[in-house]
Amino acid sequence: MEMQIGIIGGGILGIALARALALKDQGHVTVLEKESTLASHQTGRNSGVVHAGLYYQPGSLKAELCARGRSLTREYCQEHTLPYQELGKLVVALGEGQLARLADMEKRATANQVPGLARLNREELLGIEPHAAGIAALYSPHTASVDYAAITRRMAEEVVQAGGCILHNHEVTAIETVGDACLVSTEHSTHRFDQLIVCAGLQSDVIAKMVGADPSPKILPFRGEYWVMSKTSAAMVNGMIYPVPDPRFPFLGVHFTRGVDGEVHVGPNAVPALAREGYDWTSISVKDTAESLRWPGAPSLAKKYWKMGTMEIGASLFKPLYAKQAKAYLPELTSADLVQRGQAGVRAQAWSKDGSLLDDFAVDRVGPVTLLRNAPSPAATSAMAIADYVLAHYSVGKTQ
């Protein structure tokens, strides 16, 4: 009898896994997606950047899978005639105080074999981004821009063509382990799977609880908001302009990204979302917020980042404060250049009981269930590589 493999989640990770299983004939694959469309959450609400591996600790899963994922994403877009634009990224040091961090980042990027990496002085960076601030920069010419939702949809077509099944509007309500298999229930049906893979993003800890996994890490939702530059002012940005990461803070900070549609987005910031899928301040879940506040790590996290959080919330609520953050990297920018809010996203940040935020990808296994517990950026870049990794290391599929 053919092995039945279930996948919860129709984002790029779930669909990449479904595609890998279907094309390798590892069993019959069924994807359960709670929304009416694929890529509705993190996949379809990010900046569309294909990362080259500048930031990640050498030897980490992020470093390894990002490098492989970038190559696979480029090849996939070329093969399927999907947009893939190598616009290049500048990581800009604004002053002398950031040069040491820029040097540390250069060491990491070199260890990760980021292709074409170059250290630039002020004159050289102006040759790439004439309107940017900064006294020095790292340049990654092969950092690219894509449409991850379009990639997900195309991969989904391959899943179906290979005999797989994708069920929309099938939110999982219960999971029961029965021997070596499991029963997965939705409002519409119950499915028996020999193996189950959970790629539930913002709901990953909810599903983990259903299968009896460790409640830690918990998902802490952070909203990232964008502003779109006017067509006239967008001409000031050729590719991507990023800040040097500050190790004191868990998020990168506002930056500039030109998308495949030609629009330049400014952002994202990072503010606490008041619901798992809280894409604006009016989206509030008392249950989600209370769970976050009751988590053992909440006091230490608040103590550590309250000042940063206050600044981010202020910039979210008051456009001039947001523009001021961005203006540090593009001095000619004015508040009037930010003409409309872009589509916000919510990052599924994994959060330990001690208040620490998980950095690397994290995969867990409970009986026949494999759970992706933490898949932050560069998960979209790495999606196809993550799929291969899970299949190789977690005994997924009939031939393992």
What would the pLDDT profile of 42-76 be if each residue is shown by its tens digit? 999 999 999 999 999 999 999 999 999 999 999 99
Q: What's the pLDDT score for residue 398?
A: 58
What would the pLDDT profile of 127-149 be if each residue is shown by its tens digit? 999 999 999 999 999 999 999 99
What would the pLDDT profile of 147-194 be if each residue is shown by its tens digit? 999 999 999 999 999 999 999 999 999 999 998 899 999 999 999 999
**Rounded average pLDDT over 17-24:** 95
Q: What's the pLDDT score for residue 187?
A: 92
**Rounded average pLDDT over 20-47:** 95
3-state secondary structure the chain: CCCEEEEECCCHHHHHHHHHHHHCCCCEEEEECCCCCCCCCCCCCCCCEECCCCCCCCCCHHHHHHHHHHHHHHHHHHHCCCCEECCCEEEEECCHHHHHHHHHHHHHHHHCCCCCCEEEEHHHHHHHCCCCCCCEEEEECCCEEECHHHHHHHHHHHHHHCCCEEECCCCEEEEEEECCEEEEEECCCEEEECEEEECCHHHHHHHHHHCCCCCCCEEEEEEECCEEECHHHHCCCCCEEEECCCCCCCCCCCCEEECCCCCEEECCCCEECCCCCCCCCCCCCHHHHHHHHHCCCHHHHHHHHHHHHHHHHHHHHCHHHHHHHHHCCCCCCCHHHEEEECCCEEEEEEECCCCCECCCCEEEEECCEEEEEECCCCHHHHHHHHHHHHHHHCCCCCCC
Residue 399 scores a pLDDT above 60: no
Residue 92 scores a pLDDT above 60: yes
- Report if residue 97 sits inside a domain: yes
Structural domain count, the chain: 2
Q: Are residues 12 and 156 in the same domain?
A: yes
**Rounded average pLDDT over 88-98:** 97
User: CATH no. for residue 157?
Assistant: 3.50.50.60
**Rounded average pLDDT over 265-290:** 95
Q: Are residues 385 and 289 in the same domain?
A: no
Q: Are residues 332 and 364 in the same domain?
A: no
Q: Place 400 in a pLDDT band, splitting at 50, 70 and 90.
A: very low
Q: Are residues 139 and 175 in the same domain?
A: no
Q: Are residues 125 and 256 in the same domain?
A: yes
Q: Place 301 in a pLDDT band, splitting at 50, 70 and 90.
A: confident
Q: Are residues 89 and 153 in the same domain?
A: no
What would the pLDDT profile of 182-237 be if each residue is shown by its tens digit? 999 999 999 999 999 999 999 999 999 999 999 999 999 999 999 999 999 999 99
Residue 94 scores a pLDDT above 80: yes
pTM: 0.95
Q: What's the pLDDT score for residue 32?
A: 98
Q: Are residues 128 and 224 in the same domain?
A: yes
Q: Residue 261: give the domain boundaries.
A: 85-143+220-351
- Report if residue 61 sits inside a domain: no
- Report if residue 74 sits inside a domain: no
